[in-house]
């Protein structure tokens, strides 16, 4: 890290740490709409974006990256994942949702060790860096070990330690303890949340405790809720309320909440969401929905209700990748299909959700999600020289419909270069795989007949 220097003029002026020249920068206008600034120079000081402008700058002493032929974008923000589940990538395919939980994933998760979690999280971090994701909201177990992977990889994350009511009070207690201990860790790159698993696996009393602790400690609450219409139907039948209604009754909508999926949101939920406008985020991960033949998140309804909608991948056990470029592509085309509206969810709207929308959903508005001065220098460079991205008539369209995660050449978080010219600088993938591979047969062995939880949301 390059520090500050005294200028000969006598005034204290910080030197640039990093300068990206000759790049086309994706910027947001005052209304939050996407715009592009060709021939831009981005100056980073102390991990923060200092300026994005055309014209010469003094790059003395700085690392200079040539952005010719590339687009600089805010690093993508993945609003909901379970990063260590990359260890189960492809291990539970072509089964019903109920069997996915009860016969595959939850029995396999009995086998987890903290070492497995850290190794898998490191692999996930490598995948995300390589694909231009710079922040992720994570929901899993042994999160102290995920925090170690985040610290070492250089990524930014919001981390929550999952709990079920079936664990007894220690689940909630451990989640709160983790959230308080680790908030601000890794030089501030780690923020934390309370992470009750879902409205169908955590009872009202624990949801109320969570809501109260979230308000008391100003913590985001990250939870699966209204995952699909069947959950909403079952919740009405059993509790007399929709899952969003349960969030309201237990006080969770009085604080900041990040809801995974929210596909089962119905019009009667809108007044509750409107009353909580600005505090509620939703992460939508459409690839996995399509894989199980399901409908998608009603993004138009949620945006109209004042919800901060962002994009996500969910875990790789259902989504197979942590690729936000796939999420952007699927979001646009599935939204167009579900709304039967070819004008809805344009490439620009989609880029808006993946940047400003996702940042707001994870509680990081003004911190990440934009190349505006004062934001963290979380920047990716997209190489558009490939034949599949040429020629360019409409940059937003090229990025959403043509570009791939493999087109990311450079990934920067807080001004630190984590990948340069496709070379990962902070994660040793062969070493991680050497640690993980010998564990795979034990991890996927379900002959013990046990499970960490039972799925009965439908």
- Among the listed ranges 152-160, 213-221, 257-265, 348-356, the one in contact with Zn ion (CB under 5 A) is 257-265
Q: Which is nearer to Zn ion, 97 or 134 (CB)?
A: 97
At its nearest, how many Å lie between Zn ion and the CB of residue 391? Answer: 39
Q: Supply the minimum distance, in Å, between the C-beta of residue 24 and Zn ion.
A: 34
Give the interface size with Zn ion as a residue count (CB under 5 A). 2
∠296-299-301 over CA atoms, to 5°? 115
Q: How far apart are CA 354 and CA 47, in angstroms?
A: 21
Residue closer to Zn ion by CB (options 194, 260) is: 260
Q: Which of 312, 323, 318 is nearest to 132 (CA)?
A: 323
Of residues 412-451, those binding Zn ion (CB under 5 A): none
Q: Which is nearer to Zn ion, 17 or 200 (CB)?
A: 200
Kindly state the DSSP code that residue 14 receives in the 8-state scheme: P
Nearest approach, Cβ of 369 to Zn ion (angstroms)? 21
3-state secondary structure of 338: helix
The nearer residue to Zn ion, 160 or 248, going by C-beta atoms, is: 160
User: Which stretch, 89-97, 207-215, 256-264, 396-404, contacts Zn ion (CB under 5 A)?
Assistant: 256-264
Report how far residue 351's alpha carbon sits from residue 355's, in angstroms, rounded to the nearest whole number: 6
Q: What angle do CA 243, 194, 323 make, to 5 degrees?
A: 80
Smallest gap from Cβ 444 to Zn ion, in A, equals 19
The CB-of-100 to Zn ion minimum distance in angstroms stands at 12
| Minimum gap (Å) between residue 260 Cβ and Zn ion | 5
156-163 and 190-196 strand pairing: parallel
Q: Would you say 176 or 259 has its CB closer to Zn ion? A: 259
Q: Which of 185, 184, 157, 176 is nearest to 221 (CA)?
A: 176
State the minimum distance, in angstroms, from the CB of residue 81 to Zn ion: 7
Complex with Zn ion: residue 82 or 375, whichever CB lies closer: 82
- For position 138 contacting Zn ion by CB under 5 A, the verdict is no
Least distance in Å: CB of 288 to Zn ion? 9
Half-sphere exposure of 54 (CA within 13 A, CB side): 5
> Which residue stretch of 96-104, 151-159, 193-201, 253-261 sits at the interface with Zn ion (rule: CB under 5 A)?
253-261
CB atoms within 10 A of CB 206: 21
Closest CB 43 distance from Zn ion, rounded Å = 38
Nearest by Cα to 316 from 359, 281, 283, 287 = 287
d(CA 190, CA 249) in angstroms, rounded, equals 30
Compute the half-sphere exposure of residue 148: CA atoms within 13 Å on the CB side of its CA.
12
The stretch among 68-76, 258-266, 273-281, 371-379 that binds Zn ion (CB under 5 A) is 258-266
Output DSSP code: residue 75.
P
Tokens of 64: 């200079």
Nearer to Zn ion, 65 or 223 (CB): 223
Stretch 263-322 residues interacting with Zn ion (CB under 5 A):
314
Phi, then psi, of 318 in degrees rounded to 5: -110, -35
Closer residue to Zn ion in complex, CB, 145/224: 224
Q: Which is nearer to Zn ion, 259 or 412 (CB)?
A: 259
d(CA 284, CA 358): 10
Interface residues toward Zn ion, by CB under 5 A = 260, 314
């Amino acid at each position: 890290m390059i520090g500050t220097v005294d200028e000969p003029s006598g005034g204290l002026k910080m030197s640039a740490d990093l300068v990206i020249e000759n790049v086309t920068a994706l910027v947001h206008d005052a209304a939050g709409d996407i715009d592009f600034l060709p021939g831009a120079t981005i100056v980073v000081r102390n991990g923060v974006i200092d300026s994005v402008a055309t014209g010469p700058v003094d790059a003395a002493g700085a690392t200079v990256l040539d952005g010719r032929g590339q687009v600089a974008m805010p690093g993508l923000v993945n609003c909901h994942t379970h990063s260590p589940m990359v260890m189960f990538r492809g291990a539970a395919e072509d089964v019903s949702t109920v069997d996915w939980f009860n016969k595959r994933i939850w029995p396999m998760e009995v086998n987890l060790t903290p070492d497995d979690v850290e190794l898998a999280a490191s692999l996930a971090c490598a995948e995300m860096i390589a694909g231009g994701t710079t922040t992720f909201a994570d929901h899993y177990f042994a999160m102290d070990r995920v925090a170690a992977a985040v610290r070492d990889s250089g990524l930014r994350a919001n981390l929550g330690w999952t709990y079920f009511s079936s664990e007894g009070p220690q689940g909630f207690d451990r989640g709160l303890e983790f959230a308080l201990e680790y908030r601000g860790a890794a030089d501030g790159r780690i923020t934390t949340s309370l992470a009750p698993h879902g409205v169908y696996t955590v009872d009202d009393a624990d949801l109320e405790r969570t809501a109260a602790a979230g308000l008391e400690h100003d913590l985001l609450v990250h939870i699966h809720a209204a995952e699909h219409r069947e959950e909403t139907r079952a919740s009405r039948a059993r509790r007399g309320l929709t899952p969003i209604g349960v969030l309201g009754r237990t006080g969770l909508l009085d604080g900041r909440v990040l809801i995974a999926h929210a596909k089962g949101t119905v019009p009667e939920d809108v007044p509750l969401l409107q009353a909580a406008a600005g505090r509620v985020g939703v992460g939508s991960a459409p690839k996995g929905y399509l894989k199980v033949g399901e409908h998608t998140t009603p993004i138009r309804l949620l945006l109209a209700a004042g919800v901060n909608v962002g994009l996500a991948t969910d875990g790789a056990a259902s989504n197979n990748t942590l690729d936000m470029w796939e999420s952007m592509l699927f979001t646009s085309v599935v939204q167009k299909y579900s709304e039967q509206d070819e004008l809805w969810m344009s490439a620009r709207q989609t880029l808006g959700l993946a940047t400003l929308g996702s940042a707001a959903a994870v509680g990081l508005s003004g911190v990440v999600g934009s190349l505006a001065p004062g934001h963290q220098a979380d920047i990716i460079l997209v190489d558009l020289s490939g034949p599949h991205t040429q020629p360019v008539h409409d940059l937003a369209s090229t990025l959403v419909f043509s570009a791939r995660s493999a087109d990311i050449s450079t990934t920067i978080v807080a001004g630190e270069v984590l990948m340069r010219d496709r070379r990962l600088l902070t994660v040793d993938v062969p070493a991680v795989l050497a640690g993980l591979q010998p564990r795979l047969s034990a991890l996927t062995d379900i002959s013990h007949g046990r499970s960490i939880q039972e799925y009965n949301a439908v």
